[in-house]
Chain A
Amino acid sequence: MVENARSINIAASILLAIGILYIVGPLYLTLSTASQSYEYMLRNGLAWVPGTELFANMGKVIHDTRIPVQMLNSMIVAFSNALATCALSFLSAYAIVYFRIRWAGVAFALILATIMLPLDIRVITTYQVASNIFSPLNAVLDFTDLNSLIEMVFGSTVHLELSVLDTRFGLVAPLVAHGTGTFLFRQFFLTLPKDLFKAARMDGAGPIRFLIDILLPLARTSFASLFVLTFLSGWTQYLWPLVGASTPDMQTAVVGLARLVPDADGQVPDFPMIMAGAVLVSLVPLTMIALLQRFLVQGLVLSEK
């Protein structure tokens, strides 16, 4: 096989080059389009050559569109989504691993099942619940006939209504409960010495103290990696922000970008400006990855140094 190494190397290099072209090509086109003027694009079509209008285009995005407000929305949504997911996953994994719960296995299986039911599948029901978060309770009251009982006693039925559509809470809440984080923390907790909890109890530390003093510092890297991953997925969410928020000031940047394409037929969209917006919107997750990429790797290999 040794004599074949050279030809294998060449083949591998060619494959790699094709792969790079496939990934970097669109990126290049985005950047070069973003740096040309609208008029240049109208005259020449696809902009294969970089121009000088990048900052002018970005200025247009900042001044003429709602993208800055929407980026702030994205920031809030992605940040609170990441924080809430981390906290919820950490606590649920803690309960499952460290306490003797009767149906712990079943509970964990149900939590894992949420991975198979992403928001995109249950978007209609999620919308129904978000438009009135008491609708499940109302349904239970109606279904169990409790309502007729209440009507007999109090004279009228119970029907509660509260819509969280078009609020930041409504944008975040459906994204938070997700099994991946629980799974990540559970696997991490299982790699820790199993007598740690007992040792802490012998030292006089109760469950809360153990959580804060021992578990939290140990899970630092898992926390960071889950935070980065959920922040990125929260930032790039498209479907739920699209239906969950209807006013432009409440929408996220990714949805806002799509809305920059004019609805009217026949008009050529201002692609240089849209591309400049796309570059602008990508800057946040890009910085995040650049700064925190070591946590991404560390957290996924689940090892504590």
Chain B
Amino acid sequence: MTAIDTAIRAAAAEIALIGVTKSYDAKNTIIPPIDVTLRPGEFTVVLGPSGCGKSTLLQMIAGLERVSAGRIVIGGREVQDLEPKHRGCAMVFQNYALYPHMTVAENMAYSLKVSGVSKAERAERVGTVAKMLGLADYLTRKPSQLSGGQRQRVAIGRAIIREPGVLLFDEPLSNLDAQLRHDMRVELAELHRRIGATSVFVTHDQVEAMTLADRILILNKGHIEQFDTPKAIYHNPASVFVAKFIGSPPMNILQVEGDGSVLRLADGQVVANYSGIGKFQLGIRPEDIAVNEGGSIKTEIRYREDLGSHEILETKIAEQNLRIAMPFGVEIDTTQTLSLSFPQARLHLFDGETGRAIANAFGDAHSASVKEYQ
């Protein structure tokens, strides 16, 4: 760890949300009571479709939105009634929200100026942060003279200069182009490693979530669908919602019916052995389907997409869409009927009504295979 790192490194704080609720009126509940604890120094990504309440959650932690009920505890202090400046949080906004009339240095030093830090110390801390973010040559420029990536870096610099125990990110990368987004992702991961502040990162981009997070919190209409490590979420989705949300292309979900010994599709084809009775949803990832290895499930190709590294085959099975990902180099005759098999260890079973995962549905073989990933 270099001298710069220790200069900026802050004491990471634990964040605990206890029964936190947000509603604008009796009918309009944005977030039903949520209980979750984020460990000190942990990088949590809050992932969900737009309108799921993830930004509201972040703003409640920041203090920009009031909680309707419940408590927020940061570093052992109850903060839900405190002003943002007393919570020890800093935030990076989606559209940067830099002050247009101030230079880069003034932008970063503004919070210090407001809290009455001396001019000399301000200049010193701006210098340190600017060096860390590669902004040292741009300190006298205005935000309008910077590129998107540089602006984002200034916004990050403005947030970390106060050495906050908690760093909040509100979709900070969604205004950048694809290449820059990738670069900033790497930089953010690096920065988090060096600063060590407890970070909460809101996004709707699953790639950002998978690559940045220590743990991912998946929100759906304000509810926590799952809160776990990226690998666990990928290999053990807790619900159909999570299964469809993570992975590209997403997991295939097939409606099946159990008769006590096997699971059948609507057209009668047997897809797996299972002892349950009733309606179920069966999930399998496109890359896990075995093709032409003597499988018994028949399907025909409707469309193929060649992506270079792999190929996506769009097929239909019992009136339901099924995507298959084929690794590079496997030749498929598109005019032929495909025979598929679903490896039992790669199947996910969900309740037909609630969509919640049924644990260990196919025996221990499955969880064992997950274990080896973790």
Pair B115/A204 contact, Cβ less than 8 Å? yes
Pair A203/B96 contact, Cβ less than 8 Å? no
Does B91 reach chain A (CB closer than 8 Å)? Answer: yes
Does B99 reach chain A (CB closer than 8 Å)? Answer: yes
Residues from chain A with a CB closer than 8 A to the CB of B115 are 204
| A193-205 vs B, Cβ < 8 Å mask (1 yes, 0 no) | 1111011111111
> Which residues of chain B from 19 to 78 have a CB within 8 Å of any chain A CB?
59, 62-64
A196 CB contact (under 8 Å) in B64, B89, B97, B111? B97
Q: How far is the CB of B262 from chain A (nearest CB, A)?
A: 55
Rounded to whole angstroms, the CA-CA distance of A200 and B115 in the bound complex is 12
Residues from chain A with a CB closer than 8 A to the CB of B90 are 202
Residues from chain B with a CB closer than 8 A to the CB of A194 are 95
Known: A204-B85, A204-B111. A199 touches B91 (CB 8 A): yes
Most A CB contacts (10 A, CB to CB) among B62, B89, B97, B159 go to: B97
Residues from chain A with a CB closer than 8 A to the CB of B59 are 198
Does A214 reach chain B (CB closer than 8 Å)? Answer: yes
Pair A198/B91 contact, Cβ less than 8 Å? yes
Most A CB contacts (10 A, CB to CB) among B99, B111, B159, B170 go to: B99
How many B residues are at the interface, by size bracket?
20 to 34
Does A304 reach chain B (CB closer than 8 Å)? Answer: yes
Most B CB contacts (10 A, CB to CB) among A198, A201, A202, A304 go to: A202
Pair A304/B100 contact, Cβ less than 8 Å? yes
Pair B97/A199 contact, Cβ less than 8 Å? yes
Rounded to whole angstroms, the CA-CA distance of A305 and B111 in the bound complex is 24
Rounded to whole angstroms, the CA-CA distance of A218 and B101 in the bound complex is 6
Does B150 reach chain A (CB closer than 8 Å)? Answer: no
Rounded to whole angstroms, the CA-CA distance of A60 and B192 in the bound complex is 79
Binding site secondary structure of chain A:
helix
B95 CB contact (under 8 Å) in A193, A204, A214? A193
Known: A214-B99, A218-B100, A218-B101. A199 touches B93 (CB 8 A): yes
Pair B64/A201 contact, Cβ less than 8 Å? yes
B109 nearest in chain A by CB position: A203
Pair A201/B84 contact, Cβ less than 8 Å? yes
Does A209 reach chain B (CB closer than 8 Å)? Answer: yes
Residues from chain B with a CB closer than 8 A to the CB of A203 are 85, 110-111, 114, 158
Pair B64/A202 contact, Cβ less than 8 Å? yes
Pair B111/A198 contact, Cβ less than 8 Å? no
| A159-198 vs B, Cβ < 8 Å mask (1 yes, 0 no) | 0000000000000000000000000000000001111101
Residues from chain A with a CB closer than 8 A to the CB of B170 are 195
Does B255 reach chain A (CB closer than 8 Å)? Answer: no
Q: How many residues of A contact B (CB 8 A)?
A: 20
Pair A195/B94 contact, Cβ less than 8 Å? yes
A198 CB contact (under 8 Å) in B93, B114, B158, B159? B93
B93 nearest in chain A by CB position: A195
A219 nearest in chain B by CB position: B101
Known: A202-B89, A217-B101. A193 touches B114 (CB 8 A): no
Residues from chain B with a CB closer than 8 A to the CB of A196 are 97, 99
Rounded to whole angstroms, the CA-CA distance of A229 and B160 in the bound complex is 44
Residues from chain B with a CB closer than 8 A to the CB of A202 are 62, 64, 84-85, 89-91, 111, 159
Pair B110/A193 contact, Cβ less than 8 Å? no
B90 nearest in chain A by CB position: A202
Rounded to whole angstroms, the CA-CA distance of A196 and B64 in the bound complex is 12
Residues from chain A with a CB closer than 8 A to the CB of B95 are 193-195
Residues from chain A with a CB closer than 8 A to the CB of B159 are 202
B89 nearest in chain A by CB position: A202
B97 CB contact (under 8 Å) in A198, A204, A205, A209? A198
Rounded to whole angstroms, the CA-CA distance of A213 and B83 in the bound complex is 19
Known: A203-B158, A205-B114, A209-B114. A193 touches B97 (CB 8 A): yes
A216 nearest in chain B by CB position: B101
Residues from chain A with a CB closer than 8 A to the CB of B110 are 200, 203, 205, 213
Residues from chain A with a CB closer than 8 A to the CB of B98 are 193, 199
Residues from chain B with a CB closer than 8 A to the CB of A192 are 100
Q: How far is the CB of B94 from chain A (nearest CB, A)?
A: 7
Residues from chain B with a CB closer than 8 A to the CB of A209 are 114
A214 nearest in chain B by CB position: B99
Most B CB contacts (10 A, CB to CB) among A192, A203, A204 go to: A203
A204 nearest in chain B by CB position: B85
Rounded to whole angstroms, the CA-CA distance of A193 and B159 in the bound complex is 17
Pair A195/B100 contact, Cβ less than 8 Å? no
> Which residues of chain A from 258 to 305 have a CB within 8 Å of any chain B CB?
304-305
B111 nearest in chain A by CB position: A203
Residues from chain B with a CB closer than 8 A to the CB of A195 are 93-95, 97, 170
B115 nearest in chain A by CB position: A204
A203 nearest in chain B by CB position: B111
Q: How far is the CB of B116 from chain A (nearest CB, A)?
A: 10
Rounded to whole angstroms, the CA-CA distance of A218 and B91 in the bound complex is 22
Rounded to whole angstroms, the CA-CA distance of A192 and B99 in the bound complex is 10
Q: How far is the CB of B313 from chain A (nearest CB, A)?
A: 44
A residues whose Cβ falls under 8 Å from a Cβ of B: 192-196, 198-205, 209, 213-214, 217-218, 304-305
Q: Name 20 interchain pairs, CB-CB below 8 A, sorted by A.
A: A193-B95, A194-B95, A195-B170, A198-B64, A198-B91, A198-B97, A199-B93, A199-B97, A199-B98, A200-B110, A202-B85, A202-B89, A203-B111, A204-B84, A204-B114, A204-B115, A205-B114, A214-B101, A304-B100, A305-B144
Q: Beyond A195-B170, A204-B111, list 10 extra A-B contacts (CB 8 Å).
A: A193-B95, A193-B96, A199-B99, A200-B110, A201-B84, A202-B89, A203-B111, A204-B115, A205-B114, A214-B99
B residues whose Cβ falls under 8 Å from a Cβ of A: 59, 62-64, 83-85, 89-91, 93-101, 110-111, 114-115, 144, 158-159, 170
Nearest 8 Cβ contacts at the A-B interface: A204-B85, A203-B111, A195-B97, A199-B97, A195-B93, A204-B114, A217-B101, A202-B91
